[in-house]
Chain A
Amino acid sequence: MNARPSADSGMGICCAVSTIIHLTVFSLLFWYGSHIQPMTVAETYYVDVVNLPVAAPRAGSPTQQGNDSEAPQPKPTENQMNLPQPPDKTPKNVSAPNAASPRKEDTSFADKLSKIQGKAESRAQEATLERLRNKLASTGSGRAGMPSATGNEAGSDYTAYIQSRLKDAFRETISYSSRNPEIVVRIFIDTEGKVTRRKIERSGSDRAFEISVIRAIDLASEKFTPPPNHKTFEGVFVFKPQGISQNRP
């Protein structure tokens, strides 16, 4: 009575059709992928902020290489300014054989002019050198970074150097127990750069702060360079939790 065909008779055919559909779609995707341009990742370009290229006026624009290699100089233009010519005094009716004499006059005039220009340039250079000499003579020994070469007066470079070293060391050793501790220390440095003596001229009741200051001086003194001109150094420094300052007279 029940003449129904098998319920799963079409399932095999549908599986085959589905496989064909998937293969077709996959082939289409493969074909599409092979015809479009592959994705290229742009090369990362890092900008060196420190050595940014600067304008090279002679090249006319910023160079790619920056300061290290400057762009080549442009070729000199052919249309250079002509030297002024003396007035032509030769009569117009002079014949051709006399044409050599104006050329001689031209070259002699150019020589004179170049000599005058050379003299002016040398005078300007001498003046500039003289100004520099006067300036160096008025400011100290003439060595860069070491004015006056004494090294022990307030504001000198060596004092600033000692203050900087003390500041670095004090950052590692600082400790205090009172509210606003302050210590004034006079430091003596010999010609070899060693701390020969440290004298606490004014101190509070904060023992921990005092110890930290002494430790900072000891720590910093390991790296002191000798004072300039083989002289001893004597400086007074004020130690506070906020930092170190020079006790200027």
Chain B
Amino acid sequence: MALLTSAGIVVKLVLMLLLFFSVVSWAIILFKLFQVHRANSASVRFMDFFWKSKRFDAIASQIDRFTSSPLTVLFNEGYGELKKVVDSDGKSEGSALSTDLGGIENVSRALRRATNSEITRLEKYLTFLATTGSTSPFIGLFGTVWGIMTAFEGIGKTGSASLAVVAPGIAEALIATAIGLVAAIPAVMAYNHFQHKIRVLVKEMDSFSTEFLNIVQRNISGK
């Protein structure tokens, strides 16, 4: 504690900045942990429900039970676009779906758009973790270098270079690097962990989109 109180103003500013990075990083880590966990569990439950159900309108009526899953967003977008295509086909005399498959393309585009928006949502705040992981050690190192410079100035003024004079200044300076590492290490670990989890969710969304399009195409072909 004495090390923190006796540090210079620049070192204190560096420590406060690193503390801010650490607080926000841990907030993001906690938020992402809950978000990814809920998304995974809701996706598993939604897929079970999806394959057990026979009709899209039945699934759509129960979709509120799985709001945390990104697959529900895909289903909503795809189903909504499909309804629009079917409605427009009912109004027109010829069947657009069975002739040039333009409606399938519309549903595919809607699913792709929904996938992209979900990826963006899942990856939100991860850039802050990456920034913290890559810059915090350097910020801490800056504080250390500044502290050592100040310590050497003090040594020059006192004219003594004994361990009793040198050691406290260097210890004050090194605490900046220590806190920088404390902020950076969890951020880097969490960033890599969430990147892996999000990649798995993206694969699941791609698979779901493909399955949804297959089902739609089979139904249209069967008409």
| Chain A interface (Cβ < 8 Å from any Cβ of B) | 1-5, 7, 10-11, 14-15, 17-19, 21-22, 29-30, 33-34, 38, 41, 44
Check B162 for interface membership: any CB of A closer than 8 A: yes
| Among B22-30, B45-53, B91-99, B134-142, the stretch in contact with A | B22-30
When chains A and B are docked, how far (Å) is the Cα of A30 from the Cα of B3? 12
Q: Is the interface of B mostly helix, strand, loop or mixed?
A: helix
Pair A11/B164 contact, Cβ less than 8 Å: no
Check B131 for interface membership: any CB of A closer than 8 A: no
When chains A and B are docked, how far (Å) is the Cα of A44 from the Cα of B124? 57
Size range of the interface on B? 20 to 34
Check B31 for interface membership: any CB of A closer than 8 A: yes
Pair B80/A15 contact, Cβ less than 8 Å: no
Q: Can you name 6 A-B residue pairings with CB atoms under 8 Å?
A: A7-B124, A10-B35, A15-B23, A17-B27, A18-B27, A21-B26
Q: Which of A2, A17, A21 has the most CB of B within 10 A?
A: A2
Check B58 for interface membership: any CB of A closer than 8 A: no
Pair B23/A19 contact, Cβ less than 8 Å: yes
Tell me the nearest residue of chain A to B30, going by C-beta.
A14
When chains A and B are docked, how far (Å) is the Cα of A3 from the Cα of B76? 10
User: How distant is A42 from chain B, measured CB to nearest CB, in Å?
Assistant: 8
Pair B31/A11 contact, Cβ less than 8 Å: yes
Pair B19/A41 contact, Cβ less than 8 Å: no
Residue of B27, B63, B164 touching A14 (CB-CB under 8 A): B27
Residues of A within 8 A of B80 (CB): 1
Residues of B within 8 A of A18 (CB): 23-27, 30
Pair A44/B164 contact, Cβ less than 8 Å: yes
| Chain B interface (Cβ < 8 Å from any Cβ of A) | 1-2, 19, 22-28, 30-31, 34-35, 60, 63-64, 67, 72-73, 76-77, 79-80, 121, 124-125, 162-164, 167
Residue of B2, B64, B121, B162 touching A7 (CB-CB under 8 A): B121
Residues of A within 8 A of B22 (CB): 22
Residue of B30, B35, B121 touching A17 (CB-CB under 8 A): B30
Pair B162/A44 contact, Cβ less than 8 Å: yes
Pair A30/B164 contact, Cβ less than 8 Å: no
Question: Given A4-B73, A10-B34, A33-B1: A15 and B27 within 8 A (CB)?
Answer: yes
Residues of B within 8 A of A3 (CB): 63-64, 67
User: How distant is A17 from chain B, measured CB to nearest CB, in Å?
Assistant: 6
When chains A and B are docked, how far (Å) is the Cα of A29 from the Cα of B2? 12
When chains A and B are docked, how far (Å) is the Cα of A11 from the Cα of B63? 24
When chains A and B are docked, how far (Å) is the Cα of A24 from the Cα of B49? 43
When chains A and B are docked, how far (Å) is the Cα of A10 from the Cα of B121? 14
Tell me the nearest residue of chain A to B171, going by C-beta.
A39
User: How distant is B68 from chain A, measured CB to nearest CB, in Å?
Assistant: 8
Tell me the nearest residue of chain A to B70, going by C-beta.
A4
The 10 closest A-B pairs by CB, nearest first: A18-B27, A18-B26, A14-B31, A15-B27, A14-B30, A14-B27, A41-B164, A1-B76, A33-B1, A18-B23
When chains A and B are docked, how far (Å) is the Cα of A8 from the Cα of B180? 27
Q: Which of A3, A4, A34 has the most CB of B within 10 A?
A: A4
